[in-house]
Amino acid sequence: MSEETSIHIEETAERDIVEQIDTQTEVLDAHDDIFELPHGNALELDETYEITAANKTNFIVLIGPAGCGKTTLVTTVYQMFQKNPMEDYYFAGSRTLLGFEQRAFLTRTTSGHAFPDTPKTRRGISDSILHLKLYSVIRDSFKELLITDFSGEDYKAIIANVNLAKEEFGVIKRADNLVLLIDGELVSNKKRRNGAVQETLELLKTIIDAGLFSNRTCLDIVISKYDIVKERSIEDSAIKDFLSNVQQKFINKFGNEVMKLNFYYVSAMPKDKNQLNIGYGLDKLINSWVERKMGSVGVIQSNLLKQDFKSEFNLFKIRTYGV
């Protein structure tokens, strides 16, 4: 082979390689234009990293027995933000719109149900985290909320089983706010109220014994379905005293372990909208989720129950802070 031919072959090979690289780069560039869209469903824990890494995020873990109103509460929070700002926070987006919409579908009157209802949350803690991005005009800043919607069936198994609690609900350790729901309908029922509260006390004890309650976690105790509590209180005056005792019990039992403890009375979806507004009490709860002012201890309550809790709350404050 002449020297000239050899140079020509080398040049041709080089041109081929350059062309191949150009083609591959074009293909890669084309792929760079393909963005994976978020699926919009509720997230798994490891899918939340992108959110927590980018912005200040508060992780809210809701727990309570099946049917106490967890899904309704989360869904109503989302729906209320669609209409109006709450506590100076405006809805600024969500990575889990589909997850919210699937849950909200059955609560809308247009879905044709006589009473609004939410689908029963399926068991297992995967695909159960909902996301809200909020914007505060006053602070000119964003706040991300990740809110769990686990199934209530799952908690029954962990009560009094510390090892299982560690295994299955390690996620609680990451909670900024642990929200314990007590079913207001059960509280209003003479035969069932003691059992409902006892179960919640034991659940919290298991969580603490399992080392899942971090000292920076705020504890929000929520009496749900307050519309029922309010209505039944008219005939059954013992409900007021009972609820007063419930708070005392939580304070006595857990006052030393919990740095911030608040009680809330909430009706996410009252059956009679003339009696209470949809989302009654949720604005105060949201405030606890976004602000998380440590050191404030108290009872966020309705007028109906107001006087009863003052002294107990003060006692707790004195015990916890010595002031």
Give alpha helix (H) positions in the chain.
Answer: 3-32, 49-54, 70-83, 97-105, 153-158, 162-168, 184-187, 193-209, 226-235, 238-254, 282-291, 310-321
| DSSP helix/strand/coil, 134 | strand
Beta bridge partners of 163: none
Interaction pattern, residues 87-126, with Mg ion; x per rule: CB under 5 A:
----------------------------------x-----
Q: Whose Cβ is closer to ligand GTP: residue 103's or residue 260's?
A: 103
Rounded-to-integer distance, Cα 64 and Cα 321, Å: 29
* 47, 227, 308, 312: which one binds ligand GTP (CB under 6 A): 227
Q: Can you tell me which of 48, 57, 71, 301 binds ligand GTP, judged by CB under 6 A?
A: 71
Alpha-carbon distance of 144 to 134, in angstroms, equals 6
| Contact residue for ligand GTP among 95, 225, 230, 260 (CB under 6 A) | 225
When CB distances are held under 5 to 8 angstroms depending on the partner's kind, the choice from Mg ion, ligand GTP, none that residue 188 binds is: none
Which partner from the list ligand GTP, Mg ion, none does 67 bind, CB cut-off 5 to 8 Å by kind? ligand GTP
Candidate residues 69, 187, 262, 263; the one interacting with ligand GTP per rule CB under 6 A: 69
- Residue 102, token pair as written in the block: 């699937």
Residues that bind ligand GTP (CB under 6 A): 64, 66-72, 116-118, 120-121, 151-152, 224-225, 227-228, 267-271
Residues that bind Mg ion (CB under 5 A): 71, 121
